[in-house]
Amino acid sequence: MLENDSLRQPFARRAIRANLEESHCECPQVISSNTPTQTRSLADRLRAETRPEHNAIETALDLPQSIQDAGDYTRLLSGFHGFYLPLEQALLRLDWEGTGIDLNERLKAPLIRTDLEACGADADSVPQCPTLPPCSSLAEGFGCLYVMEGATLGGAMIHRELSTRFEDWLSGKDHYYQCYGENRGSMWRQFRQAVDGFGEGCSSADQDRVIHSARATFRELQRWLER
Ligand code: HEM
């Protein structure tokens, strides 16, 4: 959930959002939707201009309510693995040197693989998404990475609710949802700084490519998970 619909958010979501906004206080994360596009940082543009796609995927997945049992949880992890693995492999082919991003420390597919195996599933036989969003330049790569990194923010809240529901069963199966642990806030801030640094040094066409790719990543991920 993003701005202006806080009254419809369940308590837990409002609480995590308030925490995140507090932790972003040194970088002005909370922006007015009236801020002109050209004066927004690239990270702020991403947040504002992908809001419809975020709202759509959040509504479509209906997490964490849609996870009622171990089968639901394993299916969701399989879906993420089938999307993140090929996309991360494509992103690893880009040259991130000097961008402030160490992609290897941000990979999610290895965490999901561990969780799938703990759930008794074979990660190697999980189908992989054949249609990836645009990811052949650094600008496009930043757009894809934005979606995967941002998902860790909502993931923390989903993890909290699943922990209550599944109790001990979840232990050892939640590396993805516990991604970054107590460093989640600082990893997100570093990511935003890297995006803004990239945005300051690139053309406006490349900035638009970042946004375009982020929106496409949301849409492809939703289409893949809903298939
Ligand atoms: C696969 C599905 C999802 C993806 C890819 C995704 C992606 C993102 C992204 C990119 C951001 C960063 C926004 C920013 O620039 O600040 C974000 C933030 C956030 N997301 Fe999600 N999200 C997903 C599902 C969810 C769900 C299901 C929830 C809640 C149940 C959720 C709750 C949040 C929250 C609380 C934030 C913090 C930002 C804020 O609203 O202030 N997300 N998500």
3-state secondary structure of 49: helix
CATH classification code of 6-226: 1.20.910.10
Question: Does ligand 1 have an atom closer than 6 angstroms to the CB of 61?
Answer: yes
pLDDT for the residue numbered 37: 64
Question: Does ligand 1 have an atom closer than 6 angstroms to the CB of 54?
Answer: yes
Single out the residue of 21, 22, 46 nearest to residue 145, CA to CA: 46
pLDDT for the residue numbered 69: 97
Question: Does ligand 1 have an atom closer than 6 angstroms to the CB of 151?
Answer: yes
CA-to-CA distance for 17 and 1, rounded, in angstroms? 9
pLDDT per residue, tens digit, the chain (227 aa), is 444 444 344 434 444 555 544 443 333 333 345 566 668 999 999 999 999 999 999 999 999 999 999 999 999 999 999 999 999 999 999 999 999 999 999 999 999 999 999 999 999 999 999 999 999 999 999 999 999 999 999 999 999 999 999 999 999 999 999 999 999 999 999 999 999 999 999 999 999 999 999 999 999 999 999 99
Q: How does 50-80 read in b/e, with b if 16+ C-beta sit within 10 Å?
A: bbebbeebeeebebbeebeeeeebbbbbbbb
pLDDT for the residue numbered 207: 98
CA-to-CA distance for 106 and 151, rounded, in angstroms? 12
| Residue 171 φ/ψ, nearest 5 degrees | -60, 130
pLDDT for the residue numbered 17: 54
Question: How remote is the CA of residue 213 from the centroid of ligand 1, in Å?
Answer: 17
pLDDT for the residue numbered 39: 81
Q: Could you identify the atom of ligand 1 that is nearest to the CA of residue 29? A: 16
pLDDT for the residue numbered 95: 98
Please tell me the residue having the least CA distance from ligand 1 atom 21: 154
CA-to-CA distance for 189 and 29, rounded, in angstroms? 10
Pocket probe for ligand 1: among 51, 145, 153, the residue whose CB has the most ligand atoms within 8 Å is 153
Please say whether the beta carbons of 60 and 221 come within 8 A.
no
pTM greater than the 0.75 cutoff = yes
DSSP string, 125-149: GS---S-PPS-SSHHHHHHHHHHHH
Rounded to the nearest 10 degrees, what angle do helices 204-226 and 138-166 cross at?
40
Question: Does ligand 1 have an atom closer than 6 angstroms to the CB of 12?
Answer: no
Give the 3-state secondary structure percentages of the chain, helix then strand then coil, rounded to 5.
70, 0, 30
Question: Does ligand 1 have an atom closer than 6 angstroms to the CB of 16?
Answer: yes
pLDDT for the residue numbered 14: 47
